[in-house]
Amino acid sequence: MTDFRDFVNAHKVRMLSELQELLRIPSISTDPGHNADCRRAADWLGNHLKALGCRTVEYLASQTHPIVWGVGPEVPGKPIVLVYGHYDVQPPDPLNEWTSPPFEPTVRNGNLYARGATDDKGQVFAIVKAFEAVMGRNRPPVNIRFLLEGQEESGSKILFDLLAREPERVRADAVLVADTPYYLPGWPAVETGLRGLCYAEIKVRTARSDLHSGLYGGAAPNAHETLVRILAGLKTAEGRIKIPGLYDLVQRPSKQVRAAWKKLPFNERKFLKDEVGAKALTGLKAYTVFERLWALPTFEIHGIKGGFTGDGAKTVIPAEATAKVSLRLVPKQSEKKVQKLLTAAVKKLAPGYADVTVTFVHGADPVVVDVDSTPIAVLDRAFTEIEGRGVVPVRSGGSIPIVPELAKEGAPVVLSGIGLPDDRLHAPDEKINVEQIWKGVRVFGRFFELMAEREGVEGASSNGETASSR
C-alpha cells in the first residue's frame, strides 16, 4: 500500500510545474491552426506515460490529433482499469475576459488558472500522477490503460472511428472518466447519467430571392416569419416541448433517485443569481430544477441566420431563414429516434407555401450508468477514506458523446472527478483548485489499489497482451 499523502507532499512542487508545462500547450482541437499544438500535447502525455513505466505507448489513428494509448505493466489475474480523458481544450475566447493569459498557467488564491485546467488536462494529470504513485515498486495493483484523445471538444470523430474498428480497446473491468466536478466543495459526486444531444438546422425557404418589403409586403411570404411560427409551435411558453412522441420516451427517474436528489444541498436563489444570472428560472414548473436539468429533454434555439442583421434599416423580406436548434435527450431517447420526431413535428408545422428542411449536424445518445456497479462502490470507498464523504449520485445535463461507446464492451463506466462547480469550464478564467489535484492523486491511487481486491475479467492479462501487441 502506497502512502499517497507522503507521495503528494514529496512531489507536489515538481508535479505542479509538470502540469503547468502541459497547460502551456494551446491544444485547441476545433482550430486547425493548433493541430501542431494538439500533437505536442499528445507527445507530452505519451512521453510522460513511457517515463512512468508504461510498457507500451502508441499514438493511434491520426497524425494531427492522435489518441494516446498507454498500457501499464501486466498484472496477471487483476482487473483492467481503463482511463479515458482528453488533452484538447476549448478555444479561449473572449481573451480580454481572462485575468491572466489562458496559456500562461498562474496560481492565485490556491487555484491554478489556465484553459484546460479542469477540462480536462488537470483531471487527467491527477490520474497520471496516481499511476506514478502506484508505480513506486514498478508493479501496480491493477492493469492500468490510458485512452487519451484530442478531439473531445470537436466531436471525437477519430476515436469513434477507432472504436468502431477495434471495440476490444474498451474491454475492461472499469472505465474511469474524470471530466466532471464535485457536486459542492467537500461533496464528491458520481454522474449516473448524461443527457444526449440532437443538434439540427431548420431551414425555411419561401421565395426565389429576398424581396422589397414595400413593394411586396402584405402579399409575399416571409421566411423569418414562417420560421418563427414553426419555432414558436415547438414549445409552449410554459416550457413543454410540442414534439409529438417526445415525452413518451422519457423515463422518469425512480422515486429513490428523486429522493436522493432532494437530499442534495441546493439553494435555488443562489443558483439563479450566481450561476444562471437571470431574473427567473423557466421550464416545467411541475418538476424540480434537478429533474429539469438532468432528467427532462430540452429544446433550445441557438441562433437564426438569414435576412438582414447589419447596422441600419434594410427593408427586405427574407427568402431564406435557418435556425440552429438542439434538444438534450434523456435515457431511452436515442438521437436517431428524436431526429425522426423533430423532423415530423417541423414538417407538420410547415405551411404549404414554404420549403422546410431539417438537417442534423451533431449529436449523442444519452447515458445512464448503473450506480450499483463495483467500480462506483470502490470509488465511493476511496473518497470516503480521503474526503470523509462518499460520492453523491447526480446527473449531468451535458453530453460526452463518446461515453456510450466506452461502455459498449460491457465495462462499468465511472464518471466522476475532482473539479469544483465554479471551475468555469469553457469560459474565461477556467481554473482547478490545487488541493483538489492532490486529493485526486490520492483518491485515484486508492481507487487502483482497492480495485485490485476485486476479481478481474476473465482473461484480463491476455487481453492486455492483445491490446499492447498491436
**Contact pattern for a copy of itself over residues 264 through 303, marking x by CB under 8 A:** -----------xxxxxxxxxx----x--xx--x-x-xxxx
Q: How far is the CB of 99 from a copy of itself (least distance, A)?
A: 12
Q: Does 462 bind a copy of itself (CB under 8 A)?
A: no
Residues 123, 117: Cα–Cα separation, whole Å? 8
Query: Please, how many CA atoms are within 13 Å of residue 311, restricted to the half-sphere of its CB?
Result: 0
Which span (132-140, 206-214, 250-258, 405-413) binds a copy of itself, by CB under 8 A?
206-214
Q: Does 304 bind a copy of itself (CB under 8 A)?
A: yes
Q: Does 258 bind a copy of itself (CB under 8 A)?
A: no
Grid coordinates representing 263 are 437530499
Of the residues 62, 111, 326, 433, which one makes contact with a copy of itself according to CB under 8 A: 326
* DSSP code per residue over 163-178: HHH-GGGG-SSEEEEE
Rounded to 5 degrees, φ, ψ at 207 are: -155, 170
* DSSP code per residue over 343-357: HHHHHHHS-TTSEEE
**Contact pattern for a copy of itself over residues 418 through 447, marking x by CB under 8 A:** ------xxxxx-------------------
Nearest to 125 by CA among 51, 50, 23: 23
**Shorter beta-carbon distance to a copy of itself: residue 53 or 283:** 283
Q: What three-state secondary structure class fits 276?
A: helix
Which span (125-133, 183-191, 192-200, 431-439) binds a copy of itself, by CB under 8 A?
192-200
Site of grid cell 421565395: 207
Nearest to 297 by CA among 363, 213, 201: 363
Identify residues 113-172 at the interface with a copy of itself (CB under 8 A).
154-155
Q: Does 30 bind a copy of itself (CB under 8 A)?
A: yes
Q: How far is the CB of 28 from a copy of itself (least distance, A)?
A: 10
**Contact pattern for a copy of itself over residues 359 through 378, marking x by CB under 8 A:** --xx----------------
Largest CA distance in the chain: 83
Number of residues that bind a copy of itself (CB under 8 A): 94
Which amino acid would we find at residue 154? S
Q: How far is the CB of 274 from a copy of itself (least distance, A)?
A: 10
Residues 122, 127: Cα–Cα separation, whole Å? 9
Q: How far is the CB of 177 from a copy of itself (least distance, A)?
A: 15
